[in-house]
Amino acid sequence: MSEKDIIICRCEDVTLAELRECLEAGYTTFEEIKRILRIGMGPCQGQTCANLIQREIAKYLKQPTESIPTHKTRPLTSGVVLQDIAEAEDE
Amino acid sequence: MRERDLIIVGGGPAGLSAAKIALESGLSVTLIERAHDLGGQLVKQTHKFFGSKSEYAKTRGIDIAKILIADLEAYSSKLEIYQDTTVLAMYPDHVLTAIQGRNYMKWKAKAIIIATGASEKFLAFENNDIPGIYGAGAIQTLMNQYGIMPGSEVVMVGSGNIGLIVSYQLIQAGVKVKAVLEASDHIGGYLVHASKLVRLGVPIKTNTTVKRAYGTTKIERIDTVRLDPQWQEVEGSEESIDCDALCISVGLSPLHQLLSMSGCEMIYINELGGLVPKKNEQYETTMPRVFACGDVTGIEEASSAMVEGKLAGLMASYSLGYEHPQFETLKAETLHQLQNLRQGPCGIKIRQGLEKAGEAL
Ligand SMILES: Cc1cc2nc3c(=O)[nH]c(=O)nc-3n(C[C@H](O)[C@H](O)[C@H](O)COP(=O)(O)OP(=O)(O)OC[C@H]3O[C@@H](n4cnc5c(N)ncnc54)[C@H](O)[C@@H]3O)c2cc1C
């Protein structure tokens, strides 16, 4: 199986091969891996990849998926042009 | 900053039902919906719904949406609706920000109901980024909302109700469904839906999943592989199927972001689809006067989303001092309905999920 042809995070174009490398190197939390690979930092903010990554980490650590800490969610849910925020009227 | 009594995020069956009850209770309501149309998932459901009679079973999804929207018309003076508006953030002080086109807005609400629904799960297999690989929801949107054929020969991955129903809708639209693949050892959805497909000659292959896709600018073919009871691939069991579209229907996960970013306590539960908010019996989260209902609290169905919406609307109004004229009756009724909906073999998953969350029925 060619893990470099399996996309895990579509937004940031991260493959399963890259994720596995990260795990092998000892980075086994979502937050660590996010800082290295940018997974979950694109337009969908992890909504599409989080479950897959959660499961890969669990498989690697041989722990149940539900025990793996989820990634931190921060504002905003979607991309916004800074100008629109700056020019917004405050009623 | 615009100050409001109650803001409801999401105009699907849960949000619309919550709005109606809150309006009946005498509150002013602001409803914010990301899409152009109100109705959530319902607007692309052309089939007659299963579920309970009191929640419009046997009515087509799209017609249920029309009923729920029409129900709000009597209250138009107290109801403010923003469509094409995405809520971007929720903060612990009940502030919400949103964008409509290029117009950035800020609200502060006394109470908030989050009814954002869910999004589709994705699958990891070789070349899973080739054009022509869709989620079932995307196929429904293309086909049922915009009248666009996704392809002429489709393979469906996933035999839950959504996979089965969308397969049938594809056939109705004149698309050939070459097979339905199911990784587990049994069909996930209702047998009535599965039988319809089998009668039309669609093979449903259990213990089987997609291993890789082929094609450069468009999908041309897939390889399937059989799985043993431990979900390991069986060597030498690969088979090829030609197709020009692949439809992934492997479940939904709650759109939890607004709740988790604002500091509501969250919990990851497989049976509920992923990360869901902790809530009490009244559908209030751990953030006071922030309620949640529908698929965002756990993947279920439209019937329960509507009932949960009613309950959340009822309790949110009550928390602001607006008691619905039939408060006690409605509260008892909705709780009872939820219990009924989750009875029997089809409710096992949701019952297990709720139990794990510490919310036994
Ligand atoms: C193919 C298919 C068949 C189904 N068949 C049945 C059936 O026969 N019977 C049955 O009972 N159920 C059925 N269901 C399930 C049912 O459609 C869902 O359970 C139900 O729609 C959930 O309602 P909801 O209001 O929680 O979420 P949704 O209907 O998903 O609505 C959520 C709304 O919130 C909006 N939203 C999300 N995020 C934001 C944001 N940040 N800002 C603003 N708005 C936002 C979305 O645009 C959406 O309109 C089916 C589902 C599918 C996909």
Residue type, B12: G
> Per residue in B32-56, is it b (16+ CB within 10 Å) or e — as a string?
bbbbebbbbbbbbbbbebbbbeebb
Ligand 1 within 6 A of CB of B13:
yes
Q: What is the pLDDT of residue B49?
A: 85
B231 touches chain A (CB under 8 A): no
**pTM score, whole prediction:** 0.96
Ligand 1 within 6 A of CB of B277:
no
CA of B113 to the centre of ligand 1 (A): 15
CA separation, residue A41 to residues A31, B36, B201, B220, B267 (Å): 11, 26, 43, 31, 21
B203-238 pLDDT, tens digit per residue, is 999 999 999 999 999 999 999 999 999 999 999 999
Torsion of CA A51, B205, B172, B174, to 10 degrees: 100
Q: What is the pLDDT of residue B358?
A: 87
Annotation: CATH topology of B2-119+252-356: FAD/NAD(P)-binding domain (3.50.50)
Ligand 1 within 6 A of CB of B112:
no
CA distance A11 to A42: 5
Question: ipTM value of the model?
Answer: 0.94
Among partner residues B1, B86, B260, which is closest to A78 by beta-carbon distance?
B86
Predicted confidence band of residue B361 (pLDDT cuts 50, 70, 90): low
> Structure tokens of A3?
């893990």
Q: How far is A26 from chain B (nearest CA, A)?
A: 22
Nearest CA in chain A to B97: A76
Q: How many residues does chain B have?
A: 361
Examine domains B2-119+252-356 and B122-248 and report if their fold is the same: yes
**Domain parsing of chain B, residue ranges:** 2-119+252-356, 122-248
Question: Which ligand 1 atom sits closest to the C-alpha of B16?
Answer: 25
Look up the CATH superfamily of B122-248. FAD/NAD(P)-binding domain (3.50.50.60)
B144-181 pLDDT, tens digit per residue, is 999 999 999 999 999 999 999 999 999 999 999 999 99
> Structure tokens of B213?
């896709």
Q: How many percent of chain B have pLDDT more than 90?
A: 92
Cβ count near B265 (within 10 Å): 12
Residue with structure tokens 């629904």? Answer: B117
| Secondary structure letter of residue B34 according to DSSP | S
- What is the rounded average pLDDT for all residues in chain B? 95
Mean pLDDT (whole number) for B313-329? 98
CA distance A16 to A49: 11
Among partner residues A77, A84, A90, which is closest to B257 by beta-carbon distance?
A77
Q: What is the pLDDT of residue A1?
A: 61
Kind plus residue range of the DSSP H or E element containing B156: strand B153-157
Kind plus residue range of the DSSP H or E element containing B275: strand B274-277
B335-346 pLDDT, tens digit per residue, is 999 999 999 887
